[in-house]
Amino acid sequence: MPPERPGYPLRLTIDAAALADNWRALDRLSGSASAAAAVKADGYGLGARRAVQLLWAAGCRTFYVAHWAEAAELLDLVPAESIAVLHGPMTVQDVIFAKATGVRPVINSLAQTSLWHKAGGGLCDLMVDTGINRLGLAMADLADPTIAALSIDTLHSHLASADDASRLNEVQRERWQAACRQVPHRRSALANSAGIALGEGYHGQLTRPGLALYGGVPCAALAPHIRQVVFPEAQLIQRRVLQAGDTVGYNATFTAPAPLEVGVVTLGYADGYLRCWSNLGTMRAGGAELAVLGRVSMDMTVIDLSAAPDLVEGDWVTLDYSLPDAAAKSGLSQYELLTSLGRRFQR
């Protein structure tokens, strides 16, 4: 028998109860609407299969991915009709997959509408662009007769500035409601995570939280309701002692002011711990705070071990990674902090 495959000395601890509680909170805040779940980008970096299993158990019944390949990876976990693909059908192969499985396409253009009709149509979603100017059918195209011929489960739009007190929010809401009056559909959806906090007028029958499910806090109103889900950890490779005047890492951006015990951990920008954390990030062991020293490398980061004299090689340290705090400190968005965590983390 071959030896057991080694694991990476990085792990991403996921608080399953916090993920489920976040969905329940967002579902409750959605009022009479039901909360779906965006699980694209591999469940915002957590692992889509695990996230879908936990969210289904919590009561979620609708899931959104970006690509057809993402949908294919979930078909053995939940009913196909509970999955929709936001980017819609781009090829005949996409349409064949949708028709064969029952996964719903989200139609974004007249070209996609035509592609869907040529295959015989069927239940789909429709995305209307009300001001974000990304994907979505133009408001002027709603009168096209091919749109009236669609069998639409959910009529969507997407807010551009839900996390801000922006006038655009109300403009988009009014356009979305106008689209809902014009196009027959079963359900409507506008609100992402932050949009849920804008109130009932933005909810329709379905909300589409993503970031907040995974511990992100896009607006202050959601802060009391959202728990941290993700806790990245790295292993200590080596302890060493610096002398006064010794420098650390590439380009010598940190100089020891006095003798100093430091450690090298198995984490770097290849794992999504980017160079913006150089001389800025912190990690923890027990109650001790361990500052990042010098520049973050591809596979290694050096930390100050002065406050952790008992930490030995092979022990684990936890990154300070509360998403709103980490975003404010690093300049990265909460979305980037989640989705950049690399494949070498054992989830």
Active site residues: 40, 250
C-alpha distance from residue 223 to each of 115, 193, 288, 311, 324 (Å) = 43, 11, 26, 34, 9
Rounded to whole angstroms, how far apart are CA atoms 90 and 333?
A: 29
> In whole angstroms, what is the distance from residue 9 CA to residue 167 CA?
47
Strands 10-14 and 230-242: antiparallel
SS3 151: strand
Closest CA to 200 of 32, 3, 17, 24: 32
146-147-151-154 Cα dihedral, nearest 10 degrees: 160
Alpha-carbon gap, residue 224 to 206, rounded angstroms: 22
- Decide: 131 and 150 in contact? Cβ < 8 Å: no
Structure tokens at 320: 């300070």
The Cα 101–Cα 140 span in angstroms is 32
Please state at what angle helix 92-101 crosses helix 110-118, rounded to 10 degrees: 60
Question: Across-strand partners of 346?
Answer: 11
Q: Which residues pair with 104 in a beta bridge?
A: 84
How far apart are the C-alpha atoms of 252 and 73, rounded to whole Å? 45
- What torsion do the CA atoms of 337, 339, 341, 346 make, to the nearest 10 degrees? 130
